[in-house]
Amino acid sequence: MTTPRFHQLAAAAAAATALALSGPAVAQKTEKVDFILNWVAGGDHAPYYYAKKMGWYSQAGIDLNIEQGKGSALAIQKVGAGANPIGLADMANALTLRGKGAEVVGVYNVYANSPQGLYWLKSSGIKSVKDLPGKKIGNPPGDGARTMWPALAKANGIDPTSVTWVNIDANSKLAALKAKSVDAVTSFYNLHHVFKRELGDDMGFLAWRDAGLNPYGNSIIVNAKYLQGNKDTVAGFVKVTQKAFAACVADPKPCVQALVDANGALKYDNEMTNWQLVEVLMSDKTSKTVALGWHDDARMAADYDLVKTYIGLDKPFDVKAAYSNEFLDKSIKMTK
């Protein structure tokens, strides 16, 4: 349930943004921006589609093209190479790949909590991550879970190389699990309801955040050179996106409908449940007390140390260069 204060803040932010974006009645240059998602469109992406439908990006001078993704690793690589100026990807993966030369900067945090989870069949005898050595884990090759797996394994006292990764498409995870061609799969928490519906009481589940690993999840990332030369565009994109997320928390129905309208294969009820689980991932002390989308300095430093310790960095760097909160409106906060 949202509070009256949140509605007031969201309304104030919307009014302020609309005023700032409208400006004088003069022609405004529009820049095309190819924004790559972390994966194919789903409930967690509803705010971008809603803001685009409402014309908010256009009002900010942005002709937004939303490109479907194939994993955080690919999104980071494309943004780092400049093929896409802006993208959406797992922040811990962004730190890992920045250490390999991908010059990306996080400008808006979506998931304050890690969305990563492991699913298996209870009937297989698996009870925890400690039972996975010798087992097969299925997920797409570009998925961020593979990059972060060594950290989860080491945090739980097992050898990261003791499992076998099997390449499967995201839409094939449940079928592979049911057919027992893999022993476990990875998936984001916002799809938890789908696994529960399909596996019932035989579903085994572990949230990585409950197993000693809770780095920041998805964040909007920007190519570092693009950010230096296009601050106004990045500022507009972030301000509109923050406004859209606040609006979707206040009233998710039109947001989910915009998502479904733009992606015909999606089902409204399923994506609404997806979005409701996303709200859980968005909520923490920082998003409630500082600003929606804020990267906390202490947590980012801890995430950097986690990556450095468990995964390793080819080239160490100043973590403060890997994120920026400068474009966020601190009057917009999470209340759930």
Using 50, 70 and 90 to split pLDDT, how confident is the model at 16? very low
For the segment 28-46, the average pLDDT, to the nearest whole number, is 93
CA distances from 315 to 26, 40, 151, 301 (A): 47, 31, 18, 16
Is the pLDDT score of 64 beyond 50? yes
Q: What angle do CA 133, 186, 78 make, to 5 degrees?
A: 115
Whether 194 contacts 180, CB under 8 Å: no
Q: Reduce the DSSP state of residue 8 to 3 states and report it.
A: helix
What pLDDT does 188 receive?
85
Using 50, 70 and 90 to split pLDDT, how confident is the model at 317? very high
What pLDDT does 7 receive?
43
Q: Are strands 184-188 and 136-139 parallel, antiparallel or unpaired?
A: parallel
Is the pLDDT score of 336 beyond 50? yes
Domain(s) of CATH 3.40.190.10: residues in the chain: 4-113+216-322, 116-210
Whether 220 contacts 75, CB under 8 Å: no
Sheet holding 31-36, edge to edge: 62-67, 31-36, 86-90, 218-223, 104-109
Using 50, 70 and 90 to split pLDDT, how confident is the model at 3? very low
What pLDDT does 5 receive?
42
The residue with greater pLDDT, 3 or 311, is 311
Beta strands in the chain (DSSP E): 31-36, 62-67, 86-90, 104-109, 116-121, 136-139, 164-167, 184-188, 203-207, 218-223
* Alpha-carbon span 183 to 106, nearest angstrom: 34
Tokens of 56: 């908010």
Question: What's the CATH code, domain 4-113+216-322?
Answer: 3.40.190.10
CATH of 116-210, one of 3.30.200.20, 3.40.190.10, 1.10.10.10, 3.90.1150.10: 3.40.190.10
What pLDDT does 28 receive?
62
**Identity at 58, one-letter amino acid code:** S
Using 50, 70 and 90 to split pLDDT, how confident is the model at 243? very high
Q: Reduce the DSSP state of residue 205 to 3 states and report it.
A: strand
For the segment 217-235, the average pLDDT, to the nearest whole number, is 97
Q: Record the pTM.
A: 0.83
